[in-house]
Amino acid sequence: MSQRITILPETLTNKIAAGEVVERPASVIKELIENSLDAGATDISVEINAGGRRKICVTDNGHGMSREDALLSLERHATSKIKVDSDLGRILTLGFRGEALPSIASVSRFSLATREAVFPEGTEIIVEGGRVRDVRACGMAPGTVISVEQIFFNLPARLKFMKSAETEVGHVADTVARMSVSRPDVAFTCTSDGRELLRLQRSDLQRRLGQVVGRESFQHLYAVNGRDDYTTVTGFISSPELVRSGTQAIYTYINGRFVRDKVVQHAVMQSYRGVIDRGRYPVVALFIELPPEDVDVNVHPTKHEVRFRRQSVVHDAIQAAVEEVLRSSPWLKSPTVAAQTLNGVTSTAQAYRERIAAAAQASLSLPPPSPNWSQSEKQVGTAPFVPIISQEEITAVSEPAISFRPEQPCQESAGYFSSLSIIGQFHSEYILCQSDSELVIIDQHAASERVAFQLLKQQCHTGGIESQRLLFPETVELSFSEVAVAVKFIPDLARLGFELEPFGGTTIMISAVPRLVAQKNNILLIRDILADLERFGTSTAFNDALESLLSRIACHSVIRGAHLLENVQIKELFYHMDHTDFAASCPHGRPVSHVVTLAELQKIFKRT
Ligand code: ADP
Ligand code: MG
């Protein structure tokens, strides 16, 4: 019988493994920096030539290796980081697979020089395409220097896939930046063809991040501090003013390891939903700490992916921590509010939320602070709160059981919006205000939409959205698929305040709608909502579509386009904005306000 199977020689298996670990110069650098960090280095320098294709050199001041260890480190599956089976379940180092050095050495001309501080000299090992060519003593400072020349010289197929030197330089710089953010206590330098790309002194996270994402961006970053029994989520996130068109500035670390994980990314983006536009991504550096035995990092050789034992718990903890910051829109600076929060006193928005919750418990008929620009609720007679009409009309409206009106001053000091002095309205669409030396322009539609959206969300979570029966039920003709969707979601839509009933054939009868939209074009709204539900498809749970539906209702509840406002109505709106979470953007992620500084105006008028 002929023998078909042979065990491959190690030089070949290393080459095969290199295919996974060593994709390009940047992945070599990632592995080498991980090793330096695991070796306790506090100073790491990276030098590349021709984008790393000609040469990569990483020098560290870590604990180095003895001659024996240095030789062993080039063997496959040789590692100092795990010893027994059970260690795999509790990995505290960045490396553990014992694969990087032999893989890199098998596809390049490689040299490793290393010295332990207690010995007067170091060891240098020269390897070519996986074969050790020379081992000799060398004089050097304590630490390790690894040089990788002519990567893929013996893998022509791989060489062909290498991109231009500039592209590779970009990847290298990104890699060093990512790793440097995880360890601000370590100094990093990165030079390319003698040109310095990065020089990062030892510092704290805030400064390190500033150096990496750019100084001008730094002022838009806000600290995150979420902790529970299981997870800690700390770091910095950006305001909606600082966004990117891709995910490149989302730095997330699980127990100190940079990861590009779907769950983590989803949680971050979920928090920003409705705060920034679709297709835009925030700048984020988040450190998620959780018990190491609950994270499996052994999913892929590059260790960029992880698996969580309690995936949804981790997801929700990240989302909650990020939302906590975004909710109060800290970039809308109001000195009093900022000072209050700093002193540990709850912010006005939080106090308001607590009062709303208490009020909702005390009375089932909590009157909504109606943000819809309509006078018609007065005719309905039940709405207690009509902000967008004249002062006389307001006083004529019956007093609500509970109301939060500026005329009833509360103990809290004015929030950002209420502290603005109103200049007037522009084009009946924008409110112009002054705050110190800033001209603040507010999109009244976006603002009122956000108020309506948060109110609907609040109601949804405290017993359901307030519904209003229509005096004359309306019927709407739908397509077959729309009817099917409507019938399927009748109970869910009831939670949103809609009462629908099949009326024979493809007709549906609407007998009640959310109170906020009672006077609006309900047929249009119902069609939009059914189209949304159809688009989300049956695979999406109703709860996942909920926010979009609420934002749809909010959008219909406010008048679009121009609308003249009285000062009192503007104040009313501002009062509500100050008590609304995520007030800096409309539910679709568009900004609510824009600031023009005095300096900017002076520049326009050439006064500087
Ligand atoms: P791993 O990091 O998964 O253990 P590597 O192949 O990357 O595998 O490295 C093998 C071993 O070589 C490491 O476990 C470590 O003991 C040693 N080593 C590698 N790089 C360094 C370094 N820069 N300083 C000190 N020791 C190192
Ligand atoms: Mg390693």
Q: How confident is the model at residue 335 (pLDDT cuts 50, 70, 90)?
A: very low
Q: Same domain for 75 and 154? A: yes
Per the structure, the complete domain to which residue 371 belongs is given by 339-608
Q: Same domain for 219 and 352? A: no
**Could you read off the pLDDT of 73-118 as tens digits, one per residue?**
998 877 887 778 777 777 778 887 788 999 999 999 999 999 999 9
CATH number at residue 279: 3.30.230.10
**Who's near 417: CB < 8 A, 6+ residues apart?**
332, 442, 573, 574, 575, 577, 578, 583
> Is 333 inside a domain boundary?
no
> Is 332 inside a domain boundary?
no
Q: Same domain for 217 and 165? A: no
State the pLDDT at residue 134: 96
pLDDT at 403 over 50: no
State the pLDDT at residue 135: 97
- For the Cβ of 450 lying below 6 angstroms from any atom of ligand 1, the answer is no
State the pLDDT at residue 499: 94
Q: How confident is the model at residue 539 (pLDDT cuts 50, 70, 90)?
A: low
Last residue of a domain, one of 172, 200, 228: 200
> Is 79 inside a domain boundary?
yes
Tokens (6 digits) for 133: 């060519």
- For the Cβ of 98 lying below 6 angstroms from any atom of ligand 1, the answer is yes
Q: Same domain for 395 and 440? A: yes
- For the Cβ of 81 lying below 6 angstroms from any atom of ligand 1, the answer is yes
Atom in ligand 1 nearest the alpha carbon of residue 99: 6
Domain count, the chain: 3
Last residue of a domain, one of 327, 350, 379: 327
Q: How confident is the model at residue 410 (pLDDT cuts 50, 70, 90)?
A: very low
Q: How confident is the model at residue 377 (pLDDT cuts 50, 70, 90)?
A: very low
State the pLDDT at residue 561: 75
State the pLDDT at residue 371: 41
Q: Same domain for 284 and 365? A: no
Burial class (CB in 10 A: 0-12, 13-18, 19+), 282: buried
Q: Same domain for 322 and 364? A: no
Q: Same domain for 210 and 187? A: no
> Is 577 inside a domain boundary?
yes
Average pLDDT over residues 57-78: 93
Burial class (CB in 10 A: 0-12, 13-18, 19+), 441: middle
CATH number at residue 449: 3.30.1540.20
> Is 2 inside a domain boundary?
no
Q: What is the spatial distance between Cα 153 and Cα 134, in angstroms, rounded to a whole number?
A: 19
Last residue of a domain, one of 200, 225, 244: 200
Query: How far is the first Cα of the chain from the last one, in angstroms, to the nearest whole number?
Result: 92
Q: How confident is the model at residue 582 (pLDDT cuts 50, 70, 90)?
A: confident
Greater pLDDT, 301 or 437: 437
> Is 481 inside a domain boundary?
yes
Give 302 Cα–ligand 1 centroid separation in angstroms: 15
> Is 1 inside a domain boundary?
no
Q: Same domain for 410 and 501? A: yes
Give 82 Cα–ligand 2 centroid separation in angstroms: 12
- Region of poorest pLDDT, from 232-236, 396-400, 554-558: 396-400
Instruction: State the chain's mean pLDDT as an integer.
Output: 82
Average pLDDT over residues 476-501: 89
Q: Same domain for 294 and 362? A: no
Q: What is the spatial distance between Cα 29 and Cα 371, in angstroms, rounded to a whole number?
A: 55
Give 522 Cα–ligand 2 centroid separation in angstroms: 62
CATH number at residue 61: 3.30.565.10
State the pLDDT at residue 363: 36
Q: Same domain for 397 and 323? A: no
Please tell me the number of the ligand nearest to residue 68's CA.
1
Q: Same domain for 118 and 170? A: yes
pLDDT at 517 over 70: yes
Give 113 Cα–ligand 1 centroid separation in angstroms: 13
Q: Same domain for 192 and 217? A: no
| Three-state secondary structure call for residue 520 | coil
In three state form, how does the secondary structure of 222-250 look? EEEEEECCCCEEEEEEECCCCEECCHHHE
Pocket test for ligand 1, best of 92, 101, 104, 127 (most atoms within 8 A of CB): 101
Q: What is the spatial distance between Cα 462 and Cα 449, in angstroms, rounded to a whole number?
A: 20
> Is 569 inside a domain boundary?
yes
**Who's near 252: CB < 8 A, 6+ residues apart?**
258, 259, 260, 261, 264, 265, 268, 284, 285, 286, 288
- Region of poorest pLDDT, from 101-115, 330-344, 392-406, 465-479: 392-406
Average pLDDT over residues 59-70: 96
Give backbone dihedrals phi and psi of 415, rounded to 5 degrees, phi first: -85, -175
Other CB atoms within 10 A of residue 261 CB: 21
DSSP state of 283: -
State the pLDDT at residue 537: 66
Q: How confident is the model at residue 356 (pLDDT cuts 50, 70, 90)?
A: very low
